[in-house]
Structure 1
Amino acid sequence: MPAKLIKTVSTIAALLSVSAMVSAQQDFSKVEITHQPVAGSIFMLQGSGGNIALLVGEQGNLMVDDQYEPLAPKIKAAIAKLSQQPVRYVLNTHWHFDHTGGNAEFNTGEALLIAQDNVRSRMLSGGEIKAFNAKIPPAKKEALPELTFKERMQLYFAGEDIEALAAPNAHTDGDAVVFFKSSNVVHMGDLYFKGVFPFVDLSSGGSVPGVLAAVEAALERMDDKTKVIPGHGSLSNKAELSEYRDMLKASIAAVAPLKKAGKSLQDVQAAKPLAQLNEHYGGGFIKPDLWLQFVYQSL
């Protein structure tokens, strides 16, 4: 296989987290699940895939997202170091496989799977991420969310006032921001890729203006002491999320007038309107030209 093609396949696998691709490209035996305290009884677990929030309670635990299916045993072992109680609730921030892959493994009869309505719909039918010509098969029935909500879900559990708010047409069309009000913690899901340009799944109903709107709405509910768990990246805060918000606004402001003037995507890319942002945010999976494409196609 040509080196360029190998690099392309590896990038797609790491970014999109499609099960077959990931299994072929990643050695999960080398992945270590780490944890760090966030606030109150909330921990952030990291391994491979989306960040996990774990709320530890005397009667059981709640998880936000669960990474890849092959990592479920390691995630369970990591949880066992923090609590001897079972996982009672799993809340998915969206439908992508690096956030829902472990659903079936945690759906043992003790846990209830929760997500926004469109998460179940997309997992049920499968789909295509057109930016990368990636087809995602339907999820197994045990992985499907069992309780869904349209706009808002409220849960009182383990001493926490937990609120999940839908973010329409943002990273996807089924995103949820999860607020742990008692501990002043927010899990942003993939609305927030810390320090890098984010992936916006336009083929799943996402849009860059939608991401901006969701981030701004979340910021309005935060204070300077709020702990922010991003979908990808290290533990964050309101100030860093505000910088990310500014990047989103600057990207839209730079591209919108060019598109309004009738410039093609190729013309806009040649003009490099995001040059000042690329050095700081262009080091992730989403490179500057692809980020500009997401912005352009969203407008």
Structure 2
Amino acid sequence: MASPELPSLSRRGFCLCCVGGAFAATTGWLTPRQAFAEARGLVSVIKDSAAISPIATYKLRNNISVLEGSGGNIAVLTGPDGKLLVDAGIGVSRPQLSKALAALGGEPITHLINTHWHFDHADGNEWLHAAGAKILAHENTRKHLSVVQRVEDWDYNFLALPASAVPAQVFARDHHLKLNGASIATKYYGPAHTDGDISVMFAEANILHAGDTYWNGIYPFIDYSTGGSIDGMIAASDANLAMANNDTIVIPGHGKPVSNKAELQEFRDMLVAIRDNVGNLKKQGRTRDEAVAAKPTAAFDARFGQFLVDPGFFTRIVYQGV
């Protein structure tokens, strides 16, 4: 399916949001708009920023923390069986991530789960495997990481990862493991943000890492090039809500890294309302640009449209999928 034509700022804006709030907050570095003026490769800009961005650590409960600042939010479980990471961030963040991981304890890195294939969640696979991590993911994630994969909206061809960095253990539906006394359940959604998205639930701690099926307080990207779907994003939100209660800590792929069921519900309701608004415009015969001009996201822009996936870009993404 062809990617939507996007305004220059919106197209590039999404790419830069992959490094999260730490990118925008980094001092002594280019702002997104300054970076555009440098006319450098977008993924290179993201990686350059990740190379110097600080890592913020949020300690949750039951020896689980979340690290913010290298691509997607990274969950870490520590204990005598070694450290388990959910997502790998961007490889050039290794010095900062290594320091943050060491501060959580001296255990070796033994396990890594990729929530999906995008580089801001899996680029660190190679060094984490070299450090001792066994890598687990959905079978579609391994497929995308094993070949050249183009993302039109990023104007970038991602090379296949080295064999050692490709997940060696994969599953088709769901998978369970026990580590450091924690019962860990991974759940496959079907097509959502991509066609390989999974969540990771830490049962005893009641902590859910939703990967990029949930973007906290910002409009999400949906990667149609590798099987994403607006309806799938909504279905994944419903599945996440079904797993959560009022005490659940929810870790989003992007946005404020410590969230909850109420914020997840707001995200899901926003997706449904905008899908329906855009779908109705499309049924009326409105073109994509006419749908954007009708401002079908207006009721949500103050809450979700203040980051780099702007309302027009998100309308175009939804239009493509309804």
Length-normalised TM-score, structure 1: 0.92
Partner amino acid for 2:156? A
What is aligned with 1:156? 178
What is aligned with 1:107? 129
SS in 2 for 1:174: coil
Partner Cα distance (2:50, 2:272) in 1: 37
Measure how far apart 1:134 and its partner are: 2.6
**1:298 maps onto 2:321 in alignment:** yes
Deviations 1:138-191 (A, max 9, x none): 222221011011110101111111001011110000000110111000001111
**1:248 maps onto 2:271 in alignment:** yes
* Preserved CA contact (<8 Å) 2:201 2:208: yes
**1:23 maps onto 2:44 in alignment:** yes
SS in 1 for 2:89: coil
Matches within 5 A, 1:182-261: 182-234=204-256, 235-261=258-284
Measure how far apart 1:9 and its partner are: 8.2
What is aligned with 2:286? 263
Measure how far apart 1:136 and its partner are: 1.7
**1:275 maps onto 2:277 in alignment:** no
Deviations 1:11-66 (A, max 9, x none): 3542467xx64334534453111211112110011113100000001121100001
Partner amino acid for 1:240? E
Partner Cα distance (2:50, 2:320) in 1: 35
Measure how far apart 1:109 and its partner are: 6.7
Partner Cα distance (1:78, 1:16) in 2: 20
Measure how far apart 1:116 and its partner are: 0.5
Measure how far apart 1:73 and its partner are: 2.6
| Structure 2: gaps spanning 5 or more residues | 1-6, 20-40
Measure how far apart 1:8 and its partner are: 7.0
Deviations 1:235-294 (A, max 9, x none): 100011111111011111211122223322122112222211122211122111111111
* Preserved CA contact (<8 Å) 1:66 1:72: no
SS in 1 for 2:60: strand
Measure how far apart 1:108 and its partner are: 2.1
* Preserved CA contact (<8 Å) 2:89 2:121: yes
What is aligned with 2:98? 76
Does the C-alpha gap of structure 1 residues 9 and 264 become closer, same or farther in structure 2, counting only changes over 3 Å? closer
| Structure 1: gaps spanning 5 or more residues | none
Partner Cα distance (1:188, 1:202) in 2: 19
**1:129 maps onto 2:151 in alignment:** yes
Deviations 1:42-98 (A, max 9, x none): 001111310000000112110000110111232122111111111111000000011
Measure how far apart 1:133 and its partner are: 3.0
Spell out structure 1 runs of 4+ moving beyond 4 A: 7-10
What is aligned with 1:11? 13
SS in 1 for 2:247: coil
Partner Cα distance (1:265, 1:10) in 2: 19
What's the RMSD between the two structures over aligned residues? 1.9
Length-normalised TM-score, structure 2: 0.86
- Tell me the number of residue pairs that the alignment of Structure 1 and Structure 2 aligns: 293
Partner Cα distance (2:153, 2:49) in 1: 25
The structure 1 residue matched to 2:310, chosen from 287, 291, 299, is 287
Calculate percent identity across the aligned residue pairs: 35
* Preserved CA contact (<8 Å) 2:67 2:75: yes
Partner Cα distance (2:43, 2:315) in 1: 26
Partner amino acid for 1:116? H
* Preserved CA contact (<8 Å) 2:14 2:309: no
Higher deviation after alignment, 22-31 or 119-128: 22-31
